[in-house]
């Protein structure tokens, strides 16, 4: 069965990705910051021999290299850059938290590329050859009609550009890179008023990932299969 590596796998969309891929028989490399307190993830891992829980804080770029070395003999079919932060809860225009913005760039923008760099050899060994980055429609210039959310929006716009370049640079090696919008989802980040639940979002994104063509590499695709304008 194929192998998927997922970041931020302990709650929200990452946990649901883990649940669904494990239920389908995939081997899941479920990465999270604090395995010792990842109770929901641990429960899935204990009820399935498919899930391996691994410690990874994606803000620690050296730790990404270290994990890649630990897994050097493992072929990976699919990588899901899911871990993300929403840093705009406090302080809008006039009170921008620049340190929080730098951390958002580290987690939301730089870490996905670092994961791709570190794990390209593992993807080359796998058959699936696909990197998916969970971005957000809030990073779409076209969709921005309400302003604000400078930190989150810009970190997602930037990761979209990063992944577009990556898709072109990895094409010759047969690796595709896609950018996903999960919808507005009921998670800690999306809140209780969001429009869909994690099961619906992840089922949709998995359907998209199962059908991604070479021509779609570098595209920005919603959980329902629709292309998102940049
Ligand atoms: N929910 C939505 O409506 C929505 C909409 C558009 C896009 N998204 C995107 O979807 C992705 C998943 O979001 P979610 O809704 O599942 O959010 P969530 O419930 O807040 O979960 C975020 C996940 O990211 C992890 N994370 C944060 N910083 C990390 C770090 N430095 N290293 C490793 N893991 C880290 C968290 O781990 P800890 O538990 O350790 O904090 C948690 O597992 C994010 O990229 C988000 O931007 C969500």
This prediction has a pTM of 0.98
- Cα-based distances in Å from 48 to 27, 117, 203, 230: 10, 30, 19, 39
Residue owning the nearest CA to atom 46 of ligand 1: 84
Q: Is the Cα torsion angle 226, 228, 229, 230 positive or negative in sign?
A: negative
Residue owning the nearest CA to atom 37 of ligand 1: 8
Tens of pLDDT, residue by residue over 80-98, are: 999 999 999 877 999 999 9
Ligand 1 near 136 CB (within 6 A): yes
The reported pLDDT for the residue numbered 89 is 87
The reported pLDDT for the residue numbered 6 is 99
Q: Which two tokens stand for residue 148?
A: 């604000």
The reported pLDDT for the residue numbered 15 is 98
Q: How far apart, in Å, do the first and last CA atoms of the chain sit?
A: 35
Ligand 1 near 120 CB (within 6 A): no
DSSP H helices in the chain: 12-23, 39-47, 61-70, 98-104, 111-125, 150-170, 198-211
Contact 13, 198 (CB under 8 A): yes
pLDDT band at 105 (very low <50, low <70, confident <90, very high): very high
Tens of pLDDT, residue by residue over 25-73, are: 999 999 999 999 999 999 999 998 999 999 999 999 999 999 999 999 9
Question: Pick from 189, 35, 44, 41: which is nearest to 108 by CA?
Answer: 189
Taking the centre of ligand 1 as the mean of its atom positions, its distance from the CA of residue 82, in whole angstroms, is 6
The reported pLDDT for the residue numbered 91 is 78
Chain-wide mean pLDDT for the chain?
97
Residues in the chain, overall count: 230
Q: Identify the residue whose tokens are 């010759």.
A: 172
Res 121 pLDDT > 90: yes
Q: Could you tell me which CATH number the domain at 3-222 has?
A: 3.40.50.720
pLDDT band at 76 (very low <50, low <70, confident <90, very high): very high
**Percent of the chain whose predicted confidence (pLDDT) is above 70:** 100
Question: What HEC string does 26-60 produce?
Answer: CEEEEEECCHHHCHHHHHHHHHCCCEEEEECCCCC
Domain boundary assignment for the chain: 3-222
Tens of pLDDT, residue by residue over 170-193, are: 999 999 999 999 999 999 999 999
């Amino acid at each position: 069965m194929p192998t998927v590596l997922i970041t931020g796998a302990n709650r929200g969309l990452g946990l649901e990705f883990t649940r669904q891929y494990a239920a389908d028989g995939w081997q899941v490399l479920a990465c999270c910051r604090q395995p010792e307190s990842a109770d929901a993830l641990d429960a899935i891992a204990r009820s399935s021999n498919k899930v391996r829980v691994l410690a990874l804080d994606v803000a620690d770029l050296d730790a990404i290299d270290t994990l890649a070395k630990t897994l050097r003999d493992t072929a990976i079919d699919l990588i899901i850059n899911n871990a993300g932060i929403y840093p705009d809860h406090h302080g809008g225009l006039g009170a921008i938290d620049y340190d929080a913005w730098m951390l958002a760039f580290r987690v939301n923008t730089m870490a996905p590329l670092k994961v791709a760099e570190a794990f390209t050899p593992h993807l080359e060994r796998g058959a699936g050859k696909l990197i998916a980055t969970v971005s957000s429609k809030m990073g779409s210039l076209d969709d921005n009609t309400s302003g604000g959310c400078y930190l989150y929006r810009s970190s997602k716009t930037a990761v979209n550009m990063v992944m577009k370049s990556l898709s072109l640079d990895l094409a010759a090696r047969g690796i595709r890179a896609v950018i996903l919008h999960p919808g507005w989802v009921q998670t800690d980040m999306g809140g209780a008023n969001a429009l869909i639940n994690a099961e619906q979002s992840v089922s949709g994104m998995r359907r998209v990932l199962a059908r991604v063509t070479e021509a779609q590499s570098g595209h920005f695709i919603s959980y329902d299969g629709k292309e998102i304008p940049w």
